[in-house]
Amino acid sequence: MQTDLNTQAVILIVDDTPVNIQMLQLILQKEDFKLLTASDGRKGLDLAREHQPDLILLDIMMPVMDGFEVCAQLKHDQRTIDIPVIFLTAKAEAQSITHGFAIGAVDYLTKPFNGSELIARVKTHITLRRSQRRLLDLERKNSVLAMVVTTNHELNQPLAVLNGNIFLLTESFREAGIILNEKQRNYLDKINASAKKMESILVKYRNAMSIRFENYAGNSKMVIFEDE
């Protein structure tokens, strides 16, 4: 479920310490964010895949599955690869921070949290992600429109040939006095109807006022052409 660009931003907090989660909630609930929480890495991964939040605040030091492993799995999953991850850590060692960036994190915050700094960084990365998604959406739409122009250009000629030959075939039967039986007429009608359907689809694509994307199957998207 991908968050719409104009809706409330969703933040996932993953931390095994309840006090840390409560502190983050107190700071972030003052802003217009929807908050999701997970007390361990596995639950965090499940929530990230299900809700695809705008941002993940991820604790590094957790049992069973630490933040580094969670982040690595997020960045190897097409459903979550683009979600920005900010690490939460009491460790300021350069090695840990460098490793976090290397596996895909965009930032880090040290505990105890500074409320103003936390909100500023969260807003910055949410804005960046949404800007990137707007650009990607625009690129995808431009690509689809270019494909429509190409498709119309490539198919118009063979469609014209198909329609022309259907007409000539029908006329040749009439001139020769050939009377088609019901099955033959059905075959010819189906060919003609299919050609007309293809032509109407091309006209719909060409005259569409806008397009949008909908989930089709798995990670696939379907393009919906709208008249208005």
Q: Which amino acid is at 187?
A: Y
pLDDT in tens, 173-207: 888 998 889 998 899 899 989 988 888 888 887 77
Q: Are residues 20 and 82 in the same domain?
A: yes
Work out the number of other CB atoms within 10 angstroms of the CB of residue 72: 13
Residue 61 inside a domain? The answer is yes
CB 82 within 8 A of CB 54: no
108 in the same domain as 151: no
State whether 141 and 108 are in the same domain.
no
Higher pLDDT, 121 or 138: 121
Looking at the structure, do residues 75 and 147 belong to the same domain, yes or no?
no
Q: What CATH number corresponds to the domain at position 30?
A: 3.40.50.2300
Model confidence band, residue 136 (pLDDT cutoffs 50, 70, 90): confident
Residue 191, in any domain of the structure: yes
Q: 219 and 144, same structural domain?
A: yes
Q: Supply the pLDDT for residue 3.
A: 45
Q: Does residue 99 carry a pLDDT above 80?
A: yes
Question: Is 70 part of a structural domain of the chain?
Answer: yes
pLDDT at 1 over 80: no
| Cβ neighbour number for residue 191 with a 10 Å cutoff | 14
Is residue 193 situated within a structural domain?
yes
**Mean pLDDT in the chain?**
86
17, part of any domain:
yes
pLDDT of 13 > 90? The answer is yes
> What's the rounded mean pLDDT across residues 86-96?
76
**Is 84 among the domain residues?**
yes
Are residues 156 and 103 part of one domain? no
Q: Which residue, chain included where needed, has tokens 């009377």?
A: 179
pLDDT higher than 80, residue 223? no
Strand 85-89: give its sheet, edge to edge: 33-38, 9-14, 55-59, 85-89, 107-110
Read off the tokens for 218.
């798995």
Q: What percent of the chain has pLDDT over 90?
A: 42
CB atoms within 10 A of CB 60: 21
- Do 100 and 13 lie in one domain? The reply is yes
Q: Looking at the predicted structure, is the pLDDT value of residue 2 above 50? A: no
Q: Say whether both 87 and 180 belong to one domain.
A: no
- The boundaries of the domain holding residue 192 are 136-226
Q: Would 108 be classed as within a structural domain?
A: yes
| pLDDT reported for residue 219 | 62
Secondary structure letter of residue 84 according to DSSP: -
Tell me which amino acid residue 132 is. Q
Task: Report the number of distinct structural domains present in the chain.
Answer: 2
For residue 30, give Cα distances in angstroms to 4, 27, 116: 21, 6, 11
Per-residue pLDDT of 34-64, as tens digits, reads 999 999 999 999 999 999 999 999 999 898 8
124 within some domain: no
